[in-house]
Amino acid sequence: MAYLDHAATTPVLPAVIASLTQALTLTGNASSLHTSGRAARRRVEESRESIAKHLGARPSEVIFTSGGTESDNLAVMGIFRARRAADPARTRILASATEHHAVLDVVEFLEKHEGATVGWLEVDDYGRVHADTLAAAIAENPADVAVVSVMWANNEVGTINPIRELAEVAHSKQIPLHTDAVQALGQIPVDFAESGADAMTVTGHKIGGPTGVGALLLRRDATIQPIVHGGGQERGIRSGTLDVAAIVAFSIAVTDAVTQQAARAEMLTDLREALINGIREQIPDVVLAGDPGQSRVGEGPSRLPGNAHLRFPDCDGDSLLMLLDARGIECSTGSACTAGVARPSHVLLAMGVPEEEAKGAIRFSLGHTSTIADVREVLDAIGPVVERARRASLAASRKR
């Protein structure tokens, strides 16, 4: 089996499995005051300190959650509500049109149910938000903007956004910025303090950690309302009994992601280029979506090293997916959260890709278990698979 869907989830690291298994043998609620409770609290706080150190944050800025979706919801909804409560004129949310649905859907919920107005930030042909685009959107009425949300790196096409530049634009008008860094962590350098963001989402299962645990990094001076109420854990921002074992395992995964990032990025870039070039040799009309990886964003890379998002003309992406799967190759047509939904990618549409072309997209995403053998399996299969998918598409169009 060639697993090339790391952007959906990653195989759990052996060290994470070992730490999780050991932590599960220990008893104690981190909110309890007895010996077992204090020991559990110590494990949580040591994990918090480790995560903060590796992500350029203060320990008090690390708020544990159940993962990326909850962190995105907490950031966007919580900041919006807090800002609007302080100033009822703050009703506008600015977000990129290529955000993950964990952001898109909460923005649309606030628009429908809580009187928010939404400004969707346009992206260029690579799927990138430019600082002048954000500045122009804010300039329409700086006094009504509650929050800005722009993802650090796109989960479908891998394009990296200039988060520090965008944060500077937002801060020039005293507007907080949230960034979803779920895909960025582990593939490119991620430093919360240096990014300038006020809130940043990360999760465990994209970096070899367990599912069901993540964090929202939140500046101490950020105003936010909780969306979950109860015991007042996590600075009163996110109530709920802490999953101590998952948090310990998450910290192990973060340590690995950060310490291995540079070497892993080099390895993934080589594999990605071998994959793209090999496919182009066999399918000359294939189209690479997103940044080609040759432009620069500030001082860093412009595309995630493990992402290869390709469009095959005259093919249906779902057909390609199933044909590849039958040959033991696992990839995706886009976000796993929208798999099975018969509609073109909103990311590609926002980038200006025609709907008919967007239907022929496949995302190969590589990670810590990827090898050149995986690439060779794809290259051995892709020619016959694309040919068969095109024949099927042609036959279907004739019937119509």
User: Of 238, 258, 278, which residue sits at a domain end?
Assistant: 258
Shared domain for 336 and 353, answered yes or no, is: yes
Q: In this model, does residue 295 exceed pLDDT 90?
A: no
Is 331 part of the annotated catalytic residue set? no
The residue annotated as part of the active site, out of 337, 350, 381, 392, is 337
Shared domain for 115 and 141, answered yes or no, is: yes
Structural domain span for residue 92:
14-258
Shared domain for 83 and 222, answered yes or no, is: yes
Whole-angstrom CA distances from 193 to 5, 47, 74, 200 are 30, 19, 20, 10
Residue 274's domain is classified under what CATH number? 3.90.1150.10
Q: In this model, does residue 262 exceed pLDDT 70?
A: yes
Q: What is the pLDDT of the chain when averaged over all its residues? A: 95
Shared domain for 224 and 322, answered yes or no, is: no
Rounded distance, CA 138 to CA 134, Å? 6
Per-residue pLDDT at 394: 81
Percentage with pLDDT > 70 across the chain: 95
- Give residues with Cβ within 8 angstroms of 261, minimum separation 6: 186, 187, 188, 189
Residue 204's domain is classified under what CATH number? 3.40.640.10
Shared domain for 198 and 320, answered yes or no, is: no
> What is the arithmetic mean of pLDDT over 329-355?
80
Shared domain for 241 and 309, answered yes or no, is: no
301-314 residue pLDDT tens = 899 999 999 999 99
343-367 residue pLDDT tens = 789 999 999 999 999 999 999 999 9
